[in-house]
């Protein structure tokens, strides 16, 4: 499974518009799970991130199909002019180091 995580920052006056633009992504059918979350900013070492996109995809092909969907570009067109920083990472959770389940 591929996990897709994207962090966004935005000025306070643009935050709701960025969230609305990111919410367009939830209509794309290729993800097992797709969440748009607001950082609760409780980490004492860093609270810079404002919004998080978290997705789970069966494989790289499903992630590619998600990114090729017209709503993905529509979201980019809405969010890019309003956001400040975007940091993204995709990783294969089957190859991740994990803590054993107890």
Scanning 2-69, the segments in alpha helix (DSSP H) are 15-23, 60-68
Number of structural domains the chain divides into: 1
Residue 18 located in a structural domain: yes
The CATH number given to whatever domain includes residue 18 is 3.30.70.100
- Three-state DSSP state, 92: strand
With vertex at residue 49, the alpha carbon angle to CA 57 and CA 75, rounded to the nearest 5 degrees, is: 50
Nearest Cα residue to 28 out of 57, 69, 80: 69
* Residues with Cβ within 8 Å of residue 58, at least 6 apart in sequence: 1, 2, 32
Over residues 29-46, the pLDDT tens digits come to 999 999 999 999 999 998
Its pTM stands at 0.91
Residue 99 located in a structural domain: no
Domain of 72, in residue numbers: 2-41+48-94
93 — pLDDT class (breaks 50, 70, 90)? very high
Residue 74 located in a structural domain: yes
- Return the structure tokens found at 47: 């609270």
């Amino acid at each position: 499974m591929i996990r897709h995580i994207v962090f966004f920052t935005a000025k306070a006056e643009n935050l709701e518009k960025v969230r609305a633009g990111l919410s367009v992504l939830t209509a794309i059918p290729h993800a097992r799970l797709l969440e748009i979350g607001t950082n609760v900013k409780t980490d004492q070492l860093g609270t810079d991130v404002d919004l998080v996109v978290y997705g789970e995809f069966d494989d790289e092909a499903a992630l590619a199909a998600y990114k090729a969907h017209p709503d993905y570009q529509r979201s980019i067109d809405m969010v890019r002019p309003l956001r400040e920083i975007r940091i993204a990472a995709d990783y294969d959770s089957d190859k991740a180091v994990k803590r054993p389940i107890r």
